[in-house]
Amino acid sequence: MATKDPREPFSRISASEAKSKIDEGNVQVIDVRTPGEHAGGHVPGAVNIPHMAVVSRKGDLDTDKELVFICQVGSRSALACEFAAALGFKELYNVEGGTEAWVKSGYAVE
């Protein structure tokens, strides 16, 4: 179940919760790993915006959707959530365990 620490501007979700959100629609998945990591396999449809580029690529973030951030294990994506919150985005989710948890859960990558 999604967890929300009041000190963080985002919710932490599991890979299965992320998959459910993706299946329901109305989310944009942002893979904040390096382009090389992204090319090695990512959540289907994920947009690659490395975590340190979130601010400079603000225009690539969909203002009409919930934003689901994912990296390899969940650390860089948490930082990216902080950046997105500073830009004024509200519905932010960090996938705990990242792409590793996604793959371990048996979900497809492209």
**Active-site residue flag, 71:** yes
Sheet holding 92-95, edge to edge: 3-4, 11-13, 92-95, 66-70, 27-31, 47-48
Q: How many Cα atoms within 13 Å fall on the side-chain side of residue 72? A: 9
Q: Are 94 and 81 in contact (CB under 8 A)?
A: yes
Catalytic one of 13, 29, 54, 71 = 71
**What is the radius of gyration, based on Cα positions, of the chain?**
12
Q: Specify whether the CB–CB gap between 34 and 72 falls below 8 A.
A: no
Residues with active-site annotation: 71
